[in-house]
Structure 1
Amino acid sequence: MVRKALHAVVWRIERVIDAVRGQRDKRRVIEPYIGYATPDHLVVRGRVLTALRRNAPRAEQSRWVNFRQMLGLFLTDEVADVEISAEGMTAHTDEEGYFTLLLARDDRRGWQDVIVRIVDTDVAVACPVMIAGDDAAFVVVSDIDDTMLRTGAYSLARNLWTSLTGNALTRQVFPDAVTFMQHLTEGGRNPVYYVSSSPWNLHDFLATIFDRAGLVRGPKFLRDLGVSRTQFITGTHGDHKGGSIDTLIAAHPGLPFVLVGDTGQHDAFVYLDAIARHPGRIAAVVLREPGPGPDAESREAMARIEQAGTPLLHGPTFEGFGERLLVLLNEGLRT
């Protein structure tokens, strides 16, 4: 009851603040997110704000400056109920400014730009969409923190310190992750997706880090940490990651999946559940072991993954995993 009452109060306060902001600031911009394709649709995604929050960091700047810049990424003014359009289809932004446009699937393949407009304005932006080719052999879904990006998410204090006091020039992608993902995508043949509990406010920040490191580009499934009418901070880490995996498996019928994560946030449990929900669809699981490595519960979940007959690669680095995994997958696809 206390949580429900607190949710109601916070939601009403946020609605009043958003209404005041919207009345004061009539600017509208579209922040594009990378979309993807299903058998029936191109899924175009983005958010309407009053202004984009972007940083211009320097590698030598202080942690205090980094903190202020990171905090600024969360101070967004979203705009609800804005009508947007693309290729003859329209939609309205939700109460947090997010929109999803479902366009008819056609013969386009690879990376495509879809021009999205705010109706009755001259505001328009190109929203990228990744459309897997017919030659894809499998799909890769990867976690980000401590899997691709050095974070320390296995420790809340370390996670917050690293996330809030670094910048796009100081944050480090694991070099072995770059090589590993390049092996798996096989020159862009196999689509790669990233799933994280990080908020959508960090979409551009993460894209900048990934591009600088040369990490394979792919659509991201991040979390809405805002307060909605029905939810007080949306979902849990496991719910978000599991739901995103379900969405992507439905988007790629017939293709096997490789799930990549780490033991710091109990990804083994999430992936074990995905194996149970989608028999025969998970071709392999790969887990990095950051910090102290897996605890007893994670080791048990990892053992159950192997007992289910799903190949599991795990270790403190991904060195050599790309070659080993491709051999395993090719053997599995031939049987």
Structure 2
Amino acid sequence: MSWLKKDPLQIIAFQGYGTDSHFYARGRALEDESIDLDEQHIWHLIVNTWKRFETDEIKNVGVSITLPNNTILKGVTDNKGYYKFEENLENLKALTNKEGWLSFELSYDDLKIKRIIQNENRFPGEILIPSTKAQFGVASDIDDTILHTGVVSTLKWKVIYNSIFRHAKNRIPLEGAAEFYHKLHKGISGENANPIFYVSHSPWNLYRYLELFLRQNKFPKGPILLRSLSNFLKKKPQDEKPQKQKEILNLLKTYPNLPFILIGDSGEHDPDIYMEIAEEFPNRILAIYLRSVQHKKKMLRVKGLVENYKTTMVLMVESSEQAIEHATKNGFIKS
């Protein structure tokens, strides 16, 4: 096996989510390509991008999760190195901090690997269990919603350029976005700890890049929900829902008593996805905020969609100030 003689091994835990009785965690087992997240030289940025996508997966091996109460869960990675734990447990909220984060430890559960990595077989992970004080959840897109990306550029050349040649620390968030999201997180009382979920069509390969961007720009901490590169590249059947839509529907299913605010942009498919979700769950979607983009044709299309839409509030916003004003007026946040 290739991992017996190559790079050190790692387990990347994607921040997941759950409830007091439902544990849901995902991640990936990979060779550690030693990506330096602080390196900003152009050549190193290109090399790092190559490393993100030319991954060496640790396939079909056992992995374990140890919870703070010493409960041990066992799983197996798939042929792309991904793992998924979904278990019904009890009293998980008792294991969380005041923001609702439950920390745990991951390890390889394979004797051959254990012999190789010995004492280094410990990797951190965490999931979010929303506070009982939460009044609503937020599901937000990333590209051109909180991060200048260029998804409406010709052939998406700006997306390619930004992802390869620009460091996450140098990427520019949309003005006022972090402030708006912190207000949503704090809620009307200032202490609601409303959960924020970042949902994107980007592949999981960019997870650490996006996590660094959110942390660097002081956005509220929240699970980042992406999709596998194989799904990113292949054409899906016409009747299959987009991965972003599936993720939001799973959030609504996981938290049946929690309404949601959906935030996206007007450049791609967010308006169609969000309105379809609102039609299916008309009493669960409090509002839809759509960032305006610099593309006349796309903006006209979206304006036509929202003009007579009555199922839930849809606001096309030019700035974070507009969104903050609307959210304050409707009792989602305090001024």
Q: Same fold (TM over 0.5)?
A: yes
Q: Which of 298, 303, 306 is the aligned partner of 2:307?
A: 303
Matching residue of 1:170: 170
The reply on whether 1:198 has 2:177 as its aligned counterpart is: no
Once residues 235 and 39 of structure 1 are traced to their aligned partners in structure 2, the CA distance between those partners, rounded to angstroms, is: 35
Q: CA deviation at 1:208?
A: 0.8
What SS class does the counterpart of residue 148 from structure 1 fall into? coil
Once residues 125 and 323 of structure 1 are traced to their aligned partners in structure 2, the CA distance between those partners, rounded to angstroms, is: 42
Q: CA deviation at 1:200?
A: 0.7
Q: Which of 322, 325, 328 is the aligned partner of 2:327?
A: 325
Q: CA deviation at 1:136?
A: 0.5
Matching residue of 1:217: 221
Q: CA deviation at 1:303?
A: 2.5
Shift in alpha-carbon separation, 1:134–1:56, aligned structure 2, 3 A? closer
CA contact (8 A) 2:245 2:273 kept: yes
Q: CA deviation at 1:321?
A: 1.6
Shift in alpha-carbon separation, 1:105–1:34, aligned structure 2, 3 A? farther
Unaligned segments of structure 1, at least 5 residues: 1-19
Matching residue of 1:272: 275
Percent identity over paired residues: 27
The reply on whether 1:85 has 2:64 as its aligned counterpart is: yes
Is 194-203 or 85-94 further displaced after alignment? 85-94
Once residues 40 and 252 of structure 1 are traced to their aligned partners in structure 2, the CA distance between those partners, rounded to angstroms, is: 12
Once residues 99 and 235 of structure 1 are traced to their aligned partners in structure 2, the CA distance between those partners, rounded to angstroms, is: 24
- RMSD, matched Cα: 2.6
CA contact (8 A) 1:81 1:92 kept: yes
Q: Which amino acid aligns with 1:158?
A: K
Matching residue of 2:68: none
* Residues paired across the two proteins, number: 306
What SS class does the counterpart of residue 315 from structure 2 fall into? strand
**Cα shift readout 1:80-101 (whole Å, capped 9, x = no counterpart):** 1111112322110111111112
CA contact (8 A) 1:50 1:78 kept: yes
CA contact (8 A) 1:39 1:252 kept: no
Once residues 53 and 196 of structure 1 are traced to their aligned partners in structure 2, the CA distance between those partners, rounded to angstroms, is: 25
The reply on whether 1:257 has 2:240 as its aligned counterpart is: no
Once residues 58 and 305 of structure 2 are traced to their aligned partners in structure 1, the CA distance between those partners, rounded to angstroms, is: 42
The reply on whether 1:49 has 2:58 as its aligned counterpart is: no
The reply on whether 1:284 has 2:265 as its aligned counterpart is: no
Q: Which of 84, 88, 98 is the aligned partner of 2:82?
A: 98
Q: Which amino acid aligns with 1:117?
A: S
Unaligned segments of structure 2, at least 5 residues: 66-70
CA contact (8 A) 2:201 2:226 kept: yes
Matching residue of 2:17: 36
What SS class does the counterpart of residue 219 from structure 2 fall into? coil
The reply on whether 1:246 has 2:249 as its aligned counterpart is: yes
